[in-house]
């Protein structure tokens, strides 16, 4: 019988314990302060950079973990510490994934290091896809990228919204329309280098949760970038667009139809990024859910009512049993999707979306149950489950709402372009 294990190896356990220590000793004591301030916690990011936790090398090591568990393990422990601070630490990763998913080796080597900076001068990066009228509906995207043949530059115009680190980033990765006649298949991703004229921060959002993470609009007004800032290169883009046009001319499905699975599938630039990141978002949700569950368990064991700990009551004990069961199930779905991605196995049943859907819904439910178990105390900011409950709401919204995940899963299972 072949070897099979769900145990982390010695190296993974060592890394997990190291991250857990940082989350417990550095992040948690600062969580309430930065939530109230609603500002990027630069000192905490700096501390993470000093020990190598916020660095390209660390995330590359975890990304290339042959088991696929390095990234979800990292995300779970950081978001166990605090979701807002953790998102400030890992938010750069979405932009990095955008480059890894769509860029050339030269582009990866040039731009990803500039997203992080170094321990003495930390930087952040932003991935800009959503727009005021194009969130889940990426086909409604209006930001345009036009190639200027005379100068060899791309010119970008439009407004992006809900961008983590938007406007304060050193490097922005922007998804834009290059051929509006091709719908979502006419999109491409671009690097906007540091200090490029025409890029500015618009509205900064005051949010319900993850308030230590900077979220803002990014305004692009005649932003000119070199031709080699198109991720993947112009030759590859022209080839891809020509292939799409040939399919359309041959009657290979309407522009609005979802692309067929399998060989030759033409991926949308934003979707390629989200497909790679969804299990990681699921791991974030698992971390927040686990933090709330552990706090509620400790509270229920020590809190007495009617002369005995409240955990002696089935109404509380059964809730905790369900919370733990759902957390473990969510983690297993995340681990499966992460392993499949690393092993090169296709998400033939939309396993990436499954992991994100179940884990995010679990986080909302578990944190709400934690507030209920703490009663009136859980509703106050004196206890962290109130913040965890607010933070958990984002998981069912960003990087594909729960409704979009269900749509992706249903389409994948049925082969029908359900709308």
Known catalytic membership, residue 399: yes
N residues, the chain: 419
Reported as a pLDDT band with limits 50, 70 and 90, residue 261 is very low
Q: What angle do CA 290, 295, 301 make, to 5 degrees?
A: 125
DSSP secondary structure letter of residue 123: -
Range of the domain at 25: 10-121
Q: What pLDDT was estimated at residue 270?
A: 53
Q: What pLDDT was estimated at residue 140?
A: 86
Q: What pLDDT was estimated at residue 274?
A: 59
Q: What pLDDT was estimated at residue 412?
A: 93
Q: Angle between the 70-81 and 269-302 helix axes, to the nearest 10 degrees?
A: 50
Query: And the tokens for 134?
Result: 């194009």
Does residue 263 fall inside a structural domain?
A: no
Query: And the tokens for 78?
Result: 């950081």
Examine the domain organization and report whether 306 and 333 are in the same domain.
yes
Does residue 2 fall inside a structural domain?
A: no
pTM, full prediction: 0.91
Please provide the average confidence, as pLDDT, over all residues in the chain. 92
Does residue 393 fall inside a structural domain?
A: yes
Q: Range with the lowest mean pLDDT among 25-34, 42-51, 242-251, 293-302?
A: 242-251
Examine the domain organization and report whether 116 and 135 are in the same domain.
no
Positive or negative torsion for Cα 63, 69, 75, 78: negative
Query: And the tokens for 87?
Result: 């998102």
Average pLDDT, stretch 14-27? 98
Does residue 5 fall inside a structural domain?
A: no
CATH code of residue 107? 1.10.540.10
Reported as a pLDDT band with limits 50, 70 and 90, residue 3 is confident
Query: And the tokens for 6?
Result: 């769900």
Q: What pLDDT was estimated at residue 136?
A: 72
Q: Range with the lowest mean pLDDT among 78-92, 102-116, 132-146, 388-402?
A: 132-146
Choose one of 191, 214, 249: the last residue of a domain. Answer: 249
Does residue 419 fall inside a structural domain?
A: no
Q: What pLDDT was estimated at residue 275?
A: 63
Q: What is the DSSP string of 291-322?
A: HHHHHHHHHHHH-EETTEEGGGSHHHHHHHHH
Examine the domain organization and report whether 308 and 391 are in the same domain.
yes
CATH code of residue 385? 1.20.140.10
Does residue 3 fall inside a structural domain?
A: no
Distance, in Å, from the CA atom of 387 to the CA atom of 403, rounded to the nearest integer, reads 24
Query: And the tokens for 321?
Result: 């049993």
Three-state secondary structure call for residue 388: helix
- Tally of CA atoms within 13 A in the half-sphere of 229 that contains its CB: 24
Query: 375: alpha, beta or left, given left = phi > 0 and alpha = psi -120 to 50?
Result: left
Does residue 178 fall inside a structural domain?
A: yes
- Tally of CA atoms within 13 A in the half-sphere of 22 that contains its CB: 25
Does residue 239 fall inside a structural domain?
A: yes
Q: Of 77, 217, 361, 399, which is the active-site residue?
A: 399
Q: What pLDDT was estimated at residue 252?
A: 57
List phi, psi (to 5°) of 54.
Answer: -105, 90
Positive or negative torsion for Cα 260, 261, 264, 266: positive
Q: C-alpha distances in angstroms, 16 versus 21, 30, 190, 275, 347? A: 9, 20, 34, 25, 27
Examine the domain organization and report whether 115 and 144 are in the same domain.
no
Q: In this predicted model, which residue has the larger pLDDT, 263 or 110?
A: 110
Examine the domain organization and report whether 205 and 117 are in the same domain.
no
Q: What pLDDT was estimated at residue 258?
A: 41
Distance, in Å, from the CA atom of 294 to the CA atom of 330, rounded to the nearest integer, reads 16
The yes-or-no verdict on residue 48 having pLDDT over 70 is yes
CATH code of residue 154? 2.40.110.10
The count of other CB atoms within 10 Å of the CB of residue 330 is 26
The yes-or-no verdict on residue 263 having pLDDT over 60 is no
Examine the domain organization and report whether 331 and 379 are in the same domain.
yes
Q: C-alpha distances in angstroms, 384 versus 299, 309, 391? A: 12, 20, 11
Examine the domain organization and report whether 288 and 410 are in the same domain.
yes
Choose one of 98, 121, 144: the last residue of a domain. Answer: 121
- How many structural domains does the chain have? 3
Examine the domain organization and report whether 70 and 174 are in the same domain.
no
Q: What pLDDT was estimated at residue 138?
A: 78
Q: Angle between the 351-374 and 269-302 helix axes, to the nearest 10 degrees?
A: 30
Q: Range with the lowest mean pLDDT among 45-54, 177-186, 222-231?
A: 177-186
Q: Range with the lowest mean pLDDT among 23-32, 115-124, 270-279?
A: 270-279
Examine the domain organization and report whether 195 and 154 are in the same domain.
yes
Examine the domain organization and report whether 62 and 148 are in the same domain.
no
Average pLDDT, stretch 42-47? 97
Q: What pLDDT was estimated at residue 88?
A: 97
Q: What pLDDT was estimated at residue 264?
A: 34
Choose one of 103, 121, 139: the last residue of a domain. Answer: 121
Q: Which of 73-87, 174-188, 266-280, 341-355 has the highest mean pLDDT?
A: 73-87
Q: What pLDDT was estimated at residue 260?
A: 38
Examine the domain organization and report whether 282 and 405 are in the same domain.
yes
The yes-or-no verdict on residue 112 having pLDDT over 90 is yes
The yes-or-no verdict on residue 36 having pLDDT over 80 is yes
Asked whether the beta carbons of 164 and 214 are under 8 A apart, the reply is yes
The count of other CB atoms within 10 Å of the CB of residue 186 is 22
- Find all residues with CB under 8 Å of 47, minimum gap 6, and list them: 22, 26
3-state SS track over 16-64: HHHHHHHHHHHHHHHHHHHHHHCCCCHHHHHHHHHCCCCCHHHHHHHHC
Examine the domain organization and report whether 134 and 190 are in the same domain.
yes
């Amino acid at each position: 019988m072949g070897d099979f294990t769900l145990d982390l190896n010695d190296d993974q356990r060592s890394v997990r314990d190291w991250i857990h220590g940082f989350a417990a000793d550095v992040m948690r004591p600062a969580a309430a302060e930065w939530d109230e301030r609603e500002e990027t916690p630069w000192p905490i990011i700096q501390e993470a950079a000093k020990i190598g936790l916020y660095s390209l090398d660390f995330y590359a090591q975890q990304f290339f973990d042959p088991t696929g568990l390095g990234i979800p393990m990292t995300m779970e422990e950081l978001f166990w510490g605090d979701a807002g601070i953790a998102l400030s630490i890992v938010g750069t990763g979405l932009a990095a994934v955008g480059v890894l998913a769509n860029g050339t080796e030269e582009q990866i080597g040039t731009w990803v290091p500039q997203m992080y900076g170094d321990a003495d001068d930390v930087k952040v990066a932003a991935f800009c896809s959503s727009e005021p009228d194009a969130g889940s509906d990426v086909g409604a995207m209006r930001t345009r990228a036009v190639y200027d043949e005379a100068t060899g530059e791309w010119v970008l115009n439009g407004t992006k919204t809900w961008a983590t680190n938007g406007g304060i980033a050193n490097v922005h990765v922007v998804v834009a329309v290059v051929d509006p006649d091709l719908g979502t298949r006419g999109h491409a991703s671009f690097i906007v280098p540091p200090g490029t004229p025409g890029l500015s921060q618009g509205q900064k959002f005051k949010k319900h949760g993850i308030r230590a993470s900077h979220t803002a609009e990014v305004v692009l007004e005649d932003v000119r970038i070199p031709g080699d800032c198109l991720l993947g290169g112009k030759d590859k883009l022209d080839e891809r667009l020509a292939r799409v046009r040939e399919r359309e001319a041959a009657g290979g499905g309407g522009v609005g139809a979802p692309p067929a699975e399998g060989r030759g599938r033409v991926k949308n630039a934003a979707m390629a990024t989200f497909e790679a990141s969804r299990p990681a978002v699921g791991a974030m949700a698992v971390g927040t859910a686990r933090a709330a569950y552990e706090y509620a368990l400790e509270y229920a064991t020590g809190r007495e009512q009617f002369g005995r700990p409240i955990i002696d009551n089935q109404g509380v004990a059964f809730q905790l049993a369900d919370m733990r069961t759902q957390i473990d199930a969510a983690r297993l779905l995340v681990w499966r999707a992460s392993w499949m991605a690393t092993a090169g196995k296709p998400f033939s049943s939309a396993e990436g979306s499954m992991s994100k859907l179940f884990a995010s819904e679990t986080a909302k439910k578990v944190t709400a149950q934690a507030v209920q178990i703490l009663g009136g105390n859980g509703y106050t900011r004196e206890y962290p489950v109130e913040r965890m409950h607010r933070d958990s709401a984002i998981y069912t919204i960003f990087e594909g709402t729960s409704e979009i995940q269900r749509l992706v899963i249903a389409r994948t299972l049925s082969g029908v372009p359900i709308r």
